[in-house]
Homo-oligomer: A and B are copies of this chain.
Amino acid sequence: MRHRLTLVLAAIVCAAALPGARSESPRAAIDAWIASHQQAIVGELVDLAAIPDIAADKPDIARNVDALKALLVRHGLTAEALPTAGNPLVYGELNVPGAAGTLLVYAHYDGQPVDPKHWQQPDPFKAVLRDGRLEDGASLVPGPVARARYEPDWRLYARSVSDDKSPIVALLAALDALKAAGRRPASNVHVVLDGEEEAGSPSLVGAIARYRQKLAADAIVILDGPVHPSGRPTVTFGARGILTFELTVFGPKFPLHSGHYGNWVPNPAFELVRLLASMKDDRGRVLVPGFYDGLEPLSPEEQQMLAAVPDDEAALEKLFGISAVEQPGLSLQDAVQRPSLNIRGLSSGFVGAGARTIIPDRATADIDIRLVKETPSAAMLERVKAHIAKQGFFIVDRDPDDATRAAHPRIVKLTVEGGETNAYRTSPLAPASRAVVAAITRMFGEPPVQIRTMGGTVPIAPFIQAMGVPAIGVPIVNFDNNQHAENENLRVGTFFTGITTLAAVLTAPVPAVAHPAPSPVHPAAGAAHQR
């Protein structure tokens, strides 16, 4: 409450006191407003983060919903809670007379679970301020957390300050900053705040049909994730999907003495390693037929975009202690444009102190395939199965019975685990993409880092696909934020720059799309916007 009053007063004071800002560069006016409102902005974030927000904790979720609705109203938006099969969506609108199109801005208000004893502060939901990174030995900054001025390198430590409550506060501050600078958004701004992202956003796709009119938009702006490690403003156009499965090869029904039967009873670990080795060569090329089907060479414009990402690969190699990359000559950005096949776990018999001289009864590998837009999970799974069958394995979906064992010399159980999430990719050449990049370029005098495909996977990909309109990620937090771990933090300098970035995005003239109505029944309806 303290902060709300301060923010409102400050906004009035600023708008009155700085009429001349309108004649400065757009960035100077925005930055000046932010500089003079740091205390109110941070205060709002600290208050929001003080409400615990684990998706499964319903009373706290309800408190978050109430606080968010109040926050939206305070900043001039409508606000309502939209019930779903799970936690409510918080929804707000700020319609702009004469706007060509509508931006749906997505963020989430739930956070990762916390284990307070691993945090270096008394309460993970009570923010503390430090003069740098904890890992670098930073000290607590005494006094109240919300203060008139912050050094850019200072960091707020609390659950969800980074993932994902700061983008909500930043968006509202950006709207205020624009208003104070005498400008207004170029599109209608509709906000949807997800209360289950850290639980996989299970209710989001289902909400599209239920709230068809409210969610209809010409582009989606996703406020989540970190900016590029260089710290520069960043936009993302896609994320890889994921398909996880487990392979178990069966040997004898029970472990056997490797002396009595070694050379005679087949060893399932050897069969598994031969199967896995058949899947990828020693230059990192996946050998499953069709694995790369559909991928086409990148256009010169796309290649230029990848090359412009300021990755410091040498520093990463040193940090990771590796002296060669998996596919010789492939840059990190090139690597994540392609599907990958990863062994994330192996298990058979015993290793180390508990090792026993046995032929194991089974050998298991857990695999994940990162998908790209051209390689949907269902097709990929069929290709993998065909490859496994071609290696002479009979594929089952449960442990084999005696008859199955008697009929097949090589048996592998394949089970798909933890669901599948397809990739998504918005074309960087789509009008909305160009408009957002151009707006940020105008604001900062140089283009943002543009990520064609993020390597990781986001749970809202099915929502994006079902919506069928361009989706552009605009992260605003530091990459080293300990997201999902203890001591989550937000570098305040990165956060304040993020407000400026969002102010730019709000001025991007996103055109109305030909078929703005979302089409959950035909998720591919928006394919024309994507590539």
| Measured CA separation A324–B394 after assembly (Å) | 14
Determine if A256 is an interface residue (Cβ-Cβ < 8 Å).
yes
Known: A348-B343, A349-B344. A264 touches B327 (CB 8 A): yes
Q: How far is the CA of A47 from the CA of B261 in the complex (A)?
A: 35
Chain B, Cβ-Cβ closest to A337: B263
Is A117 part of the binding interface, using a Cβ–Cβ cutoff of 8 Å?
no
**0 or 1 for each of A378-412: is its CB under 8 Å from B? (1 = yes):** 00000000000000100000001010011111000
**A38 interface residue, CB < 8 Å from B?**
no
Contact in complex: B326, A267 (CB < 8 Å): yes
A319 to B254 CA separation, bound complex (whole angstroms): 10
Q: Let me know if B259 and A455 touch, CB within 8 A.
A: yes
Q: Is the CB of A242 within 8 A of B259?
A: yes
Which of B253, B263, B351, B409 sits near A345, CB closer than 8 Å? B351
Per the bound structure, the CA–CA distance linking A321 and B273 in Å amounts to 21
The stretch of A138-146, A213-221, A365-373 in contact with B is A365-373
Distance in Å: Cβ of A375 to nearest Cβ of chain B: 13
CA distance A468 to B65 in the complex (A): 85
Cross-interface CB contact of A280 among B270, B319, B348, cutoff 8 Å: B270
Q: From known contacts A258-B368, A350-B366, A351-B246, infer whether A264 and B325 are also in contact, taking CB-CB under 8 Å.
A: yes
Whether A321 pairs with B402 at a CB distance below 8 angstroms is yes
Return the chain B residue nearest A246 by Cβ. Answer: B351
Q: Could you say which residues of chain B place their CB within 8 Å of the CB of A22?
A: none
Q: CB distance A335 to B263 under 8 Å? A: yes
Partner of A240, one of B259, B332, B359: B259
Contact (Cβ within 8 A) B340 A347: no
Complex Cα–Cα for A284 and B351 (A): 22
Contacts of A342 in B (CB 8 A): 258, 262, 267, 357, 359
Distance in Å: Cβ of A312 to nearest Cβ of chain B:
13
B405 A269 Cβ-Cβ under 8 A: no
Chain B residues, Cβ within 8 Å of A321: 250, 252-253, 400, 402, 405-406
- Report the nearest B residue to A319, measured CB to CB: B253
A323 within 8 A of B: yes
Decide: A409 near B323, CB < 8 A? Known: A330-B264, A455-B260. Answer: yes
Q: A322-B252, A405-B322 are in contact. Are A356 and B344 (CB under 8 A)?
A: yes
Cβ-closest chain B residue relative to A328:
B409
Question: Is A431 an interface residue, CB under 8 A from the partner?
Answer: no
A376 to B504, CA, bound (A): 74
The complex places the Cα of A323 from the Cα of B265 at a distance, in Å, of 10
Which has the most chain B C-beta neighbours within 10 Å: A244, A257, A258, A405?
A258
A370→B276 CA distance, assembly (Å): 25
| Shortest Cβ distance from A347 into B: residue | B351
In the complex, what distance in Å separates the CA atom of A416 from the CA atom of B417?
A: 36
Complex interface: chain B residues within 8 A of A409 (CB)? 322-324
Bound together, the chains give a CA A274 to CA B274 distance in angstroms of 7
Q: Does A425 contact B (CB under 8 A)?
A: no
Query: Hey, which chain B residues are within 8 Å of A456, CB to CB?
Result: 257, 259-260
Bound form: Cα–Cα A253–B407 in Å: 44
A277 at the interface (CB under 8 A from B): yes
Chain B residues, CB < 8 A from A323: 405-409
A438 CA / B272 CA spacing, docked (Å): 47
Q: Which residues of B contact A320 (CB under 8 A)?
A: 252-254, 256, 265
Confirm or deny: A167 has a beta carbon within 8 angstroms of a beta carbon on chain B: no
Residue of B nearest to A336 (CB): B263
Q: Does chain B have a CB within 8 A of A97?
A: no
| A426 → B minimal CB distance (Å) | 18
**Which residue on chain B has the smallest CB distance to residue A406?**
B323
Residues in B with CB closer than 8 Å to A418 are 355
Answer yes or no: A297 CB below 8 A from chain B CBs: no
Interface residues of A in 201-252 (CB under 8 A from B): 240, 242, 244, 246, 250-252
CA distance A70 to B169 in the complex (A): 90
> Complex: how many Å from CA A402 to CA B322?
9
Specify which chain B residues have a CB less than 8 angstroms from the CB of A368 in the assembled complex.
258, 262, 357
In the complex, whether A113 has a CB less than 8 A from a CB of chain B is no
Besides A253-B319, A344-B355, 14 new A-B residue pairs in contact (Cβ under 8 A), listed by A number: A252-B320, A258-B370, A259-B336, A262-B342, A263-B330, A263-B340, A267-B343, A274-B282, A318-B406, A345-B350, A346-B349, A346-B363, A347-B351, A352-B366
26 residue pairs A–B, Cβ–Cβ below 8 Å:
A242-B357, A246-B351, A250-B321, A253-B321, A257-B456, A258-B340, A259-B336, A263-B330, A263-B455, A264-B327, A264-B330, A265-B320, A265-B325, A269-B346, A269-B365, A273-B346, A274-B282, A282-B392, A324-B409, A343-B360, A345-B348, A345-B350, A346-B351, A347-B348, A347-B352, A352-B364
